Chain A
């Protein structure tokens, strides 16, 4: 067993000498946006090796606490990177990279009338992400509570493990309406398949999406290069295409 590990380590070290690998933990709402950012980064750095794992921000936070070997963590809620920093697990200060938004989405019920569409009799299941560990789910819950609809709709709510799974429930029609991430419904995978309604951002606490570099025993220069790239105009342009509001920008009307 040790020999197997040793030979694998030798092979991997030899390969890694040519380019450092960057392992990214990214919130599920970044699924398509981050893919595009990585493709853009690879164009400028063809030898780079970037691996992304998508999941709920809370899940990734737990994994990092338990020693998961991520180099950089893009959370949908800057609260998690801040918690990591408090526990001395970070190598950089948590930085805001985007502001996200929740929407109502459906390919079965007309949601253009806004929150009142949730009273539609056709609504049997409402999909939200799990508020326990998914920031988009928490905001969905806050918004429903703000409009005094949460208790009424509680029995109809089904929870996705993260916002991407929630989108999948809605897209396949298993939930007639979903409270989803704007970035996901604007992606090529969902764009022309349904209609969305932008929920008033005053009804929930803002989705301040922050990232942080995880403290590792060896400094990975590629990680810092990638982090810098995310703040570049090119990457910011990509995020903007997915409906994110960017920090240091005049607010959208």
Chain B
């Protein structure tokens, strides 16, 4: 049982870790565009990105399950040409997790970028620095707390996923049975002490992450 416990936590960490990394890579460019560009359908895009925050997870899970089905366009394409079935697999849950945690990565990054005074960028440009160099050498160093918040919130949110994972993942041990699902499963098996162990671990991890976020943001806030 102890081995299962560790393996489940490792699987949970793996899902959250991959989700966070993937989201950081695709989220940063999107946040950059949203922070500095203006286009007529920007509000719509921002609303769509925020949807996972208000949508019941089961709605998202249901739509993803439909999308993954080999009888529909996306799932059919994957099945026919790549012999890949996403439903009930780790990769399928990972993709759903990326969609579900999108706003938790993009919004802090976007806020971090807009908080940097325009003069910083303009100063860099007038000194002949390219947009890329400005991004890595001026913008990123000035938004470290926002980056930490984005990474930590995404990671913590992913650990807490239940509705999406159970719809799309199917509670397969070693593949898609992450800690939140395992708790549900152990309660059904009347193994309350194991459920308690998982819950305690998740509670402590989430508390630690949030404490780190708040202490970082506290340090960068202006003194009263």
CB A132 to nearest CB in B, in angstroms, measures 16
A23 to B87, CA, bound (A): 15
B190 and A171 within 8 A (CB):
yes
- Residues on A lying within 8 angstroms of B by beta carbon are 1, 4-5, 8, 23, 28, 31, 51-55, 63, 66-69, 162, 164-165, 167-168, 171, 189-190
Contacts A63-B88, A66-B87 hold; do A53 and B170 have CB atoms under 8 A apart?
Answer: yes
A28 and B188 within 8 A (CB):
yes
CB A237 to nearest CB in B, in angstroms, measures 22
Task: Report which of A4, A52, A67 forms a contact with B18, defined as CB distance below 8 A.
Answer: A4
Task: Report which of A63, A167, A171 forms a contact with B170, defined as CB distance below 8 A.
Answer: A63
- In the assembled complex, which residues on chain A have CB atoms less than 8 Å from the CB atom of B91? 5
- In the assembled complex, which residues on chain B have CB atoms less than 8 Å from the CB atom of A168? 187-188, 190
CB A174 to nearest CB in B, in angstroms, measures 12
B87 and A162 within 8 A (CB):
no
B188 and A164 within 8 A (CB):
yes
B69 and A66 within 8 A (CB):
yes
CB A75 to nearest CB in B, in angstroms, measures 16
A244 to B88, CA, bound (A): 31
- Interface residues in B1-26 by Cβ distance below 8 A to A read 18, 22
Task: Report which of B22, B87, B173, B177 forms a contact with A68, defined as CB distance below 8 A.
Answer: B87
Binary A-proximity of B186-220 (CB < 8 A = 1, otherwise 0): 01111100000000000000000000000000000
- Residues on B lying within 8 angstroms of A by beta carbon are 18, 22, 65, 69-70, 85, 87-91, 170-174, 177, 185, 187-191
Task: Report which of A1, A52, A189 forms a contact with B190, defined as CB distance below 8 A.
Answer: A189
Contacts A67-B88, A69-B88 hold; do A31 and B189 have CB atoms under 8 A apart?
Answer: yes
- In the assembled complex, which residues on chain B have CB atoms less than 8 Å from the CB atom of A190? 190
A23 and B190 within 8 A (CB):
no
- In the assembled complex, which residues on chain A have CB atoms less than 8 Å from the CB atom of B170? 53, 63, 68
CB B52 to nearest CB in A, in angstroms, measures 20
CB B192 to nearest CB in A, in angstroms, measures 9
A189 and B189 within 8 A (CB):
yes
Task: Report which of A1, A23, A54, A67 forms a contact with B188, defined as CB distance below 8 A.
Answer: A54
Among the interface residues B69, B87, B88, B191, which one has the most CB atoms of the partner chain A within 10 A?
B88
A46 to B88, CA, bound (A): 27
A92 to B91, CA, bound (A): 30
- In the assembled complex, which residues on chain A have CB atoms less than 8 Å from the CB atom of B22? 1
- In the assembled complex, which residues on chain A have CB atoms less than 8 Å from the CB atom of B65? 66
CB B98 to nearest CB in A, in angstroms, measures 10
B190 and A167 within 8 A (CB):
yes
CB A31 to nearest CB in B, in angstroms, measures 6
CB A164 to nearest CB in B, in angstroms, measures 4
A190 to B188, CA, bound (A): 12
A244 to B69, CA, bound (A): 37
A53 to B90, CA, bound (A): 15
CB A28 to nearest CB in B, in angstroms, measures 7
- In the assembled complex, which residues on chain B have CB atoms less than 8 Å from the CB atom of A4? 18
A23 and B172 within 8 A (CB):
yes
Among the interface residues A23, A31, A53, A189, which one has the most CB atoms of the partner chain B within 10 A?
A53
A190 to B190, CA, bound (A): 9
A69 and B85 within 8 A (CB):
yes
A162 and B188 within 8 A (CB):
yes
Which residue of chain A lies nearest to B66 when distances are taken between CB atoms in the complex?
Answer: A66
Contacts A54-B188, A164-B188, A189-B190 hold; do A67 and B172 have CB atoms under 8 A apart?
Answer: no
